[in-house]
Each structure stands twice: as structure tokens, then as C-alpha cells.
A and B are shown apart, each in its own frame.
Chain A
């Protein structure tokens, strides 16, 4: 008896063999396909990346359902089922395009820089003119890592506070860590002023290293929407976020207050043609008020940016991260595919 297409996809995508296949496909895409696509004319390269995204959207039913479910749980009634599916499809497309972005960082990053417009340079340059560096706050957008490298390649000395996830993800072999470092991190790292400052328990020097970069009048980037680690939970504060409340760390604001560096917000949006992108960098965030008030302003900017282009946000696929942020309740986990309306009745 033939299973329905939806069921067949689930069987292929979710069992051990399916996971292995996805893992091999992902590695082959990053190591072999993306470098080739990044050398094609941009309209063709990004079009083909979107095809790959569409293909994964169709094949990975479980991931697709999880994305759509989380979107609807967090954004609530703002999204119809069709809208959630559209965003989920774009999420897969953006994921595939991100590999092309990284591979276009070759040499002086010109192949990618040609596709990225920077709006708000005057804010960044005005901040650096004061000589205390600048803190550029952003969100975990699919575009942000390569975007930080583009900023550096465009003449702004950029140092990033953030972890290379392949070094911390449990269950990866040393060979896998080496692989992802080579195909993903190395092209990004070539366009940074210093090695990433990586927060982790037992590394109290993070803020001092960031202050050192600011003293050298550099741009320190930080994505402020990360769920706090267990060791940092006591320092997290609750702020309005995406229509609910999220627990976030206001460390960027504290760093700004100690060093006197201005806080700017910046988001890199992908345009409708998928290949062009626009950095939108704001004027400094008003510093009046206590740390929680100032951080609330920053979080509101991040929240608005995610609403404007939800498919760019990394965390839709991670129920665990959304729960750690406080946007989902831990018990919200029954029958995800059916909740999102993606499985046919009885499927």
C-alpha cells in the first residue's frame, strides 16, 4: 500500500537514514555546490539556491511543520496557515542563500559587497568619530554573519561577540568541527578585525576583551536576541518581544555604559530578488534611563525587525531556543504538524 506523499516524506526525512542523507547533502552543498553557485552570475546562483531551499522545504516535512508551528505559536493570530507556510518556505530559501553569501566573501569580499547596500553609514561613521568605538546590536538573522564580514570588508574594523556554533554543538566529531570551520567559519573570519569574542561559562574576560576593541575604536557587533545560557539566567531581564515577553541579557547596554560607546541597531534584510541585501543601521539608541529601559528599546527594535522579515530569524526552527527565550511554554508540544495545519486530516 502506498503512503500519502506527506507520510512518505516524513519517513524519508525523519528516520536515521534520512538524517544521514540530509547531513551528507548539507555538507556536499556547502563544500561543493555553494562555491560553484557563488561563482555564477548572481541571478543564477541565488535562483538555484532558492530551488535547493524549495526542495528541502518539500522533503523535510518535520522541520517544515516545526517552523510553521513555532511561527504560529509565537506570532499567534497574526499569521494564517498559508502565511506561516510561505515564511517557512522563505526560511529554507534564505538558509540556502546564506551559503552563497559566505562563498562570495572570497578575496576582498567584492562579489558579495556588490550585492549589499549599506544604509546608515553616517551613523556608524559619526559614532566612530567620537573615538570610543561603536556597539552594533543585531538579531540572529540568517544574513548577519556574512553581513558583519561585509561591513569589515567595507572599511569598518569589526569584531564580533558570538560563538562559532560548530565548536559548541554536542555530538559533532572533530572531523565535522574541522569541516564546518573550513567551509563556514574561515571565510567569515578572514573579514574580521579580531577573532570572535566567544562567551562561555568560565570565560569572564569577554566584556574586557570587547572593551579593548572599543578602546581601539572598532565596531563590536553583538546579536542581543540569544537565549541566555544557564549560568547567565540570573542576569537576564524580561522585555516585551514579539507580542510576548522574552528573557534576554542586557550585556550590550552595560558594556556601552561602562565604555561610553554608542549603541546602534543594524539589520541586514534580503530583498525580494533574494540576491540583493540592505544593511539598515540606525542612529544611536537614546541612552537615557536605566539599563533595563535602554535595553528594552533595543529589544523593541529587534522585535520590529523580526516582524518585518520573519523568515530571516534563525530561531523559528528551534523549539528549545524559543522556550529558553520564554516565547514558548515548555508544554506546548503536542502534534506539531497538525497544529500548524500542515498534515492532511488523518495523515
Chain B
């Protein structure tokens, strides 16, 4: 999952090659990798690639701060993730 997301962001969204290679902990917002429109592109990609629906309430900076945060957010939405966390 992490590699897929890093590849997509690196190839499609990074405006300045100086930030490459992208680490999973790199701040996507502070480094300028993600602006409003690139976040939209990323959300569309994530919804199609991982078959999830990302609601308005989930559009908080914490969920998209870094690739690691995105992965954590997506894992939490996997079927059974909440039950597994409880159990």
C-alpha cells in the first residue's frame, strides 16, 4: 500500500523534484507536495485504487499529513479493522 501511494504521489503530484525520493514520514502539506487540487487528485486515486469512499469529515490534515498517515487512515477503514482493534 505504502509503495503504491508513494509511487503515485512521486509521479503525479510532486511539483518540485527536489523533495524526491519521498519518505513515508515526509510532511505532504508542509513541503508543498499537496495543495487543494493535488489532494483532490490523491483522494480520487485512493478511492479508485483501494475501493474506499472518503467522506468530508475525514478530510482533516492529520489523515493526509504524510504517506504513513494516509496508510494508517486506510488501514483503519479496512473491513474488520475496528473489530480487530477492539478484540
List residues of chain A with CB under 8 Å of any chain B CB: 199, 202-212, 232, 235, 251, 254-255, 258
Contact between B64 and A204, CB atoms less than 8 A apart: yes
Among A204, A212, A251, point to the contact of B39 (Cβ < 8 A): A204
Among B35, B44, B54, point to the contact of A204 (Cβ < 8 A): B35
Q: Is the CB of B3 closer than 8 A to any CB of chain A?
A: no
Contact between A254 and B56, CB atoms less than 8 A apart: no
CB distance from A243 to the nearest CB of B (A): 29
Report the interface size for chain B: residues with CB under 8 A from the other chain: 16
Which residue on A lies nearest to B15, using beta carbons?
A234
Q: Is the CB of B37 closer than 8 A to any CB of chain A?
A: yes
Query: Could you say which residues of chain A place their CB within 8 Å of the CB of B59?
Result: 205, 208-209
Known contacts A204-B29, A204-B64, A209-B59; is-contact A258 B36 (Cβ 8 Å): no
Query: Could you say which residues of chain B place their CB within 8 Å of the CB of A235?
Result: 35
| B35, B61, B64 — most chain A CB neighbours (10 Å) | B35
Which residue on A lies nearest to B39, using beta carbons?
A204
Main secondary structure of the interface of A (DSSP, over half): helix
Contact between B41 and A205, CB atoms less than 8 A apart: no
CA distance A254 to B39 in the complex (A): 12
Contact between B44 and A207, CB atoms less than 8 A apart: no
Q: Is the CB of B34 closer than 8 A to any CB of chain A?
A: yes
CA distance A223 to B61 in the complex (A): 26
Q: How would residues 35 to 51 of chain B score, 1 for a CB under 8 Å from any chain A CB and 0 otherwise?
A: 11101110110000000
Query: Could you say which residues of chain A place their CB within 8 Å of the CB of B61?
Result: 202, 204
Contact between B56 and A209, CB atoms less than 8 A apart: yes
CB distance from A195 to the nearest CB of B (A): 11
Known contacts A204-B61, A258-B44; is-contact A251 B56 (Cβ 8 Å): no
Which residue on A lies nearest to B40, using beta carbons?
A207
CA distance A210 to B44 in the complex (A): 13
Query: Could you say which residues of chain B place their CB within 8 Å of the CB of A204?
Result: 29, 34-36, 39, 61, 64
Query: Could you say which residues of chain B place their CB within 8 Å of the CB of A205?
Result: 36, 39, 56, 59-60
Contact between A255 and B40, CB atoms less than 8 A apart: yes
Query: Could you say which residues of chain A place their CB within 8 Å of the CB of B35?
Result: 204, 232, 235
CB distance from B43 to the nearest CB of A (A): 5
| A199, A203, A204, A251 — most chain B CB neighbours (10 Å) | A204
CA distance A208 to B60 in the complex (A): 11
CA distance A202 to B59 in the complex (A): 12
CA distance A205 to B35 in the complex (A): 8
CB distance from A176 to the nearest CB of B (A): 29
Which residue on B lies nearest to A209, using beta carbons?
B56
Contact between B36 and A199, CB atoms less than 8 A apart: yes
Contact sample, A vs B, 18 pairs, CB 8 Å cutoff: A199-B36, A203-B36, A204-B34, A204-B35, A204-B61, A204-B64, A205-B36, A206-B36, A207-B36, A207-B37, A207-B39, A208-B39, A208-B59, A212-B56, A251-B37, A254-B37, A258-B40, A258-B41
Give the residues from 28 to 81 in chain B that come closer than 8 angstroms, CB to CB, to chain A.
29, 34-37, 39-41, 43-44, 54, 56, 59-61, 64
CA distance A199 to B39 in the complex (A): 14
